[in-house]
């Protein structure tokens, strides 16, 4: 009997209690991907302990801590993070050997150099995208890990550095091995599914806009933009997971750029003013015939269906192009030309998205195409300066007041501050580490002084720590408790201090616990007081860069592919949306202006391309160049100048049908620039601020 039927036959309270119990049981379903990840992680941690004990490492728990920091539900993320962590550890270890050789007897100089090194690495990690940022971040704080202990026994410096590198290598290899055996490569399937869903969503959005169905037309907001760029992260995971995807990244990224352009272009589609024009009616009929068929074939997901969809859309593309060519010769209604030009551009971009998905399933590799991402140099400098000041100030205070555990404070302050600075909410992440550490202290005390003294042998050691590991790894699967879980796992594992000769020393434990707590609180204070993260200022920086890019595209054009230019602007839009997620109304207003500005830049690029046509008359060329000069001015009132240039272009002499066609295209572009300048010119110029 079905659950709904049982609930309908029971009383209200009984049914509610049954429903609640059912939902609670689902949380503990041990066959879910969440619990599979938890079991893989604890298995890898146990394996790392066993290998470290077998190799008689001084700090076997360090190998397990590496597992806890690298563990991820996705196989590609594990491989990428692990390899970059190992590379960063090697670089940091080399730097540690050099530093100890130069400054081991001069603590002040050591602190300054450590701060400079951490600052440089923190800035580099801020500028580098994705998993590659793990490399410089780890290289920065590995200097602290490698020198911890060597400050007191400098003669053992080399062995301590090599031990640190070996511990990380053991942890990375153990986790990679367990993940490869007990998980499947699922990123590619998720990538294909995400691209397919976005393609069909964009196709239906275009169809609804063309059919002017107000009940089904949806607006494009921050959520849609974030969903599109989430596919970029999936692509990076798939690339790390599979060489088959890695050799096709160029085609896929080209398709993603086209999809993003189609999504934003569909937002600007509006046909109310041309709804009765014969040319538009013909175009609408073609779209209604071809687009649903293409969407249906895309949803099949197989290569043959994608090829059929691509052929369908290419036919639609050619038909629309023919309609526009006839329209440009037949009459000079700029609004119709503008509307159909926008529709054709969206169809071209959507076609590029289909080609990208087809390239992912292709039999040939594709060359990697150059795409640019915005690099926030201001944030990099701020993070670097903060890292430098935090190390120097904290180390100076520790030495000045005679704090016995000051090296431990630096040991933890360095990684926590650099890792939190790379997140969207550094202070919130630091609070999570404080909470996780607070829970880890009593848990470690119970394990060390109540459980471990009564056990003997490696299996019972792992069994004693297993419940705590399970709780910590499970917490990392809950989005709001990810950093709580990480803070708990690392603090618990280190404070237990499991090694070849166990140490049950209450004074030592309390000293370590106090030093750990001071370090996480110091991290919180550093992130709150020294150059605190300001998401609004970050959004304004992206706005400024966005406006500057649009203005430069109007003044100088863009020599590369249009999708490459638009992809860079899309990345800035995503960061604006992410920075202002706590203020959705402001984010929506900024995105509306930014999308209008992006359309303004695209129109200018379209006009510049039209001016390169050999058929253009001298008068139309003159008016077009004058329009570009006016469009680049910061004064919003230049929309009146653009209107005058539009009228002058329309009234210019035409000597033949081809000349007339290109003149009509130039006039339509100028008219579109005027409309967009009037609507968004103040924001592009920076005179209209959105609080």
For residues 431 and 302, state if they share a domain: no
Closest Cα partner for 271 from 200, 325, 343, 219?
343
For residues 285 and 423, state if they share a domain: no
- Per the CB < 8 A criterion, the answer to whether 334 and 667 are in contact is yes
pLDDT the model gives residue 349 = 93
pLDDT the model gives residue 3 = 46
pLDDT the model gives residue 217 = 58
| 350 in a structural domain | yes
The whole-angstrom separation of Cα 340 and Cα 160 is 68
The 8-class DSSP code of residue 525 comes to: H
| 367 in a structural domain | no
For residues 301 and 232, state if they share a domain: yes
Closest Cα partner for 389 from 418, 362, 353?
418
Tell which of 529, 561, 582 closes a domain. 529
Number of domains forming the structure of the chain: 4
The whole-angstrom separation of Cα 608 and Cα 665 is 11
pLDDT the model gives residue 21 = 55
| Termini Cα distance of the chain | 57
For residues 215 and 343, state if they share a domain: yes
User: 487: which 2 tokens?
Assistant: 């803070």
Tell which of 360, 393, 428 closes a domain. 360
**Helix/strand/coil for 617:** coil
| 366 in a structural domain | no
Grouped pLDDT means (10 residues each) for the chain, 691 residues: 47 57 55 88 96 91 93 89 93 89 81 92 92 92 79 74 90 94 85 92 90 63 74 85 82 88 84 86 92 92 89 93 84 79 92 89 63 90 95 85 75 89 90 96 94 90 95 94 95 88 84 89 93 92 92 83 83 87 85 88 89 86 92 85 89 59 86 90 79 57
For residues 522 and 651, state if they share a domain: no
| 368 in a structural domain | no
User: 176: which 2 tokens?
Assistant: 């990679």
- Render the burial of 162-180: b for 16+ CB within 10 Å, e for the rest: ebbbbbbbbbbbbbbebbe
Q: Which domain does 427 fall in, by range?
A: 31-185+374-529
pTM here?
A: 0.85
- Per the CB < 8 A criterion, the answer to whether 317 and 294 are in contact is no
| 691 in a structural domain | no
Taking each helix axis as running N to C, give the angle between helix 618-631 and helix 638-651, from 0 to 180 degrees, rounded to the nearest 10: 170
| 285 in a structural domain | yes
CATH number at residue 325: 1.20.120
Phi, psi of 283 (to 5 degrees): -65, -40
Tell which of 314, 336, 360 closes a domain. 360
For residues 302 and 390, state if they share a domain: no
Distances (CA, A) of 102 to 110, 152, 391: 8, 15, 18
For residues 223 and 174, state if they share a domain: no
Q: Rounded to the nearest 10 degrees, how much is the dihedral formed by the CA atoms of 477, 479, 485, 487?
A: 140
DSSP one-letter string for 87-103: HHHHHHHHHHHHHHHHH
| 261 in a structural domain | yes
The whole-angstrom separation of Cα 39 and Cα 477 is 12
For residues 395 and 298, state if they share a domain: no
For residues 389 and 449, state if they share a domain: yes
Which residues 6+ apart lie within 8 Å of 318 measured at CB?
none
For residues 522 and 593, state if they share a domain: no
The whole-angstrom separation of Cα 146 and Cα 159 is 10
For residues 440 and 420, state if they share a domain: yes
* Opening angle at CA 65, ends 61 and 69, nearest 5: 175
For residues 408 and 509, state if they share a domain: yes
| 369 in a structural domain | no
pLDDT the model gives residue 28 = 55
Closest Cα partner for 394 from 383, 382, 408?
408
């Amino acid at each position: 009997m079905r659950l709904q039927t049982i609930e309908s036959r029971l009383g209200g309270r009984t049914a509610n209690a049954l429903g609640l119990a059912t939902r609670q049981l689902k949380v503990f379903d041990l066959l879910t991907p969440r619990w599979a990840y938890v079991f893989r992680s604890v298995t890898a941690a146990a394996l790392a302990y066993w290998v470290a004990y077998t190799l008689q490492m001084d700090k076997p728990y360090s190998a397990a801590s590496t597992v806890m920091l690298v563990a991820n539900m996705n196989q590609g993320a594990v491989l990428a993070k692990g390899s970059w962590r190992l590379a960063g550890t090697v670089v940091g270890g080399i730097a540690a050997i050099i530093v100890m050789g130069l400054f081991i007897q001069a603590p002040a100089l050591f602190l300054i150099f450590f701060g400079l090194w951490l600052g440089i690495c923190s800035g580099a990690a801020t500028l580098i995208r994705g998993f590659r940022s793990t490399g410089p971040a780890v290289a920065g704080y590995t200097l602290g890990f490698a020198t911890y202990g060597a400050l007191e026994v400098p003669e053992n410096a080399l062995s301590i550095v090599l031990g640190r590198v070996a511990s990380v290598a053991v942890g990375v290899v153990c986790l990679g091995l367990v993940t490869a055996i007990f998980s499947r490569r699922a990123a590619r399937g998720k990538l294909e599914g995400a691209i397919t869903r976005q393609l069909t969503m964009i196709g239906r959005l275009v169809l609804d806009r063309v059919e002017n169905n107000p009940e089904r037309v949806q607006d494009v907001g921050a959520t849609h933009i974030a969903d599109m760029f989430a596919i970029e992260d999936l692509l990076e995971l798939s690339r790390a997971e599979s060489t088959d995807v890695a050799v096709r990244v160029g085609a896929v990224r080209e398709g993603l750029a086209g999809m993003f352009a189609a999504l934003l272009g569909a937002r600007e589609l509006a046909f109310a003013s041309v709804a009765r024009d014969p040319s538009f009616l013909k175009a609408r009929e073609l779209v209604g015939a071809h687009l649903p068929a293409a969407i249906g074939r895309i949803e099949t997901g197989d290569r043959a269906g994608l090829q059929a969809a691509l052929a369908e859309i290419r036919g639609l593309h050619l038909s629309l192009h023919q309609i526009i060519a006839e329209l440009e010769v037949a009459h000079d209604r700029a609004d119709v030309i503008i509307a159909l030009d926008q529709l054709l551009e969206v169809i071209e971009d959507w076609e590029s998205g289909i080609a990208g998905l087809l390239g992912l399933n292709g039999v040939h590799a594709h060359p990697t195409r150059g795409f640019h991402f915005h690099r926030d140099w201001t944030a990099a400098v701020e993070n670097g300066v903060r890292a430098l000041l935090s190390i120097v100030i904290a180390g100076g205070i520790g030495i000045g007041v005679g704090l016995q555990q000051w090296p431990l404070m630096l040991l933890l302050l360095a990684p926590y501050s650099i890792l939190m600075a790379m997140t969207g909410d550094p202070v919130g992440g630091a609070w999570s580490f404080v909470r996780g550490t607070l829970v880890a202290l009593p848990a470690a005390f119970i394990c060390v002084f109540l459980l471990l003294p009564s056990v003997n042998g490696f299996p019972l050691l792992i069994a004693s720590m297993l419940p705590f590991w399970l709780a910590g790894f499970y917490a990392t699967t809950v989005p709001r408790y990810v950093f709580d879980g990480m803070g708990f796992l690392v603090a618990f594992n280190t404070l237990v201090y499991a090694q070849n000769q166990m140490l049950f020393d209450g004074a030592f434990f309390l000293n370590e616990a106090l030093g750990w707590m001071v370090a996480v609180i110091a991290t919180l204070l550093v992130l709150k007081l020294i150059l605190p993260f300001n998401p609004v200022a970050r959004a304004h920086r992206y706005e400024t860069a966005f406006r500057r890019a649009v203005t430069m595209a109007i003044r100088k054009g863009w020599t590369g592919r249009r999708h490459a230019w638009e992809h860079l602007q899309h990345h800035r839009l995503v960061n604006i949306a992410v920075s202002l997620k706590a203020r959705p109304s402001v984010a929506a207003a900024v995105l509306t202006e930014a999308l209008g500005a992006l359309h303004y830049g695209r129109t200018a690029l379209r006009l510049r391309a039209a001016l390169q046509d050999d058929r253009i008359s001298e008068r139309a060329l003159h008016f077009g160049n004058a329009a570009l000069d006016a469009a680049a001015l910061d004064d919003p009132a230049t929309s009146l100048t653009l209107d005058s240039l539009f009228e002058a272009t329309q009234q210019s002499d035409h000597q033949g049908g081809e000349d007339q066609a290109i003149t009509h295209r130039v006039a339509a572009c100028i008219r579109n620039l005027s409309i967009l300048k009037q609507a968004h010119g103040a924001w592009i110029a920076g005179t209209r601020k959105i609080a």
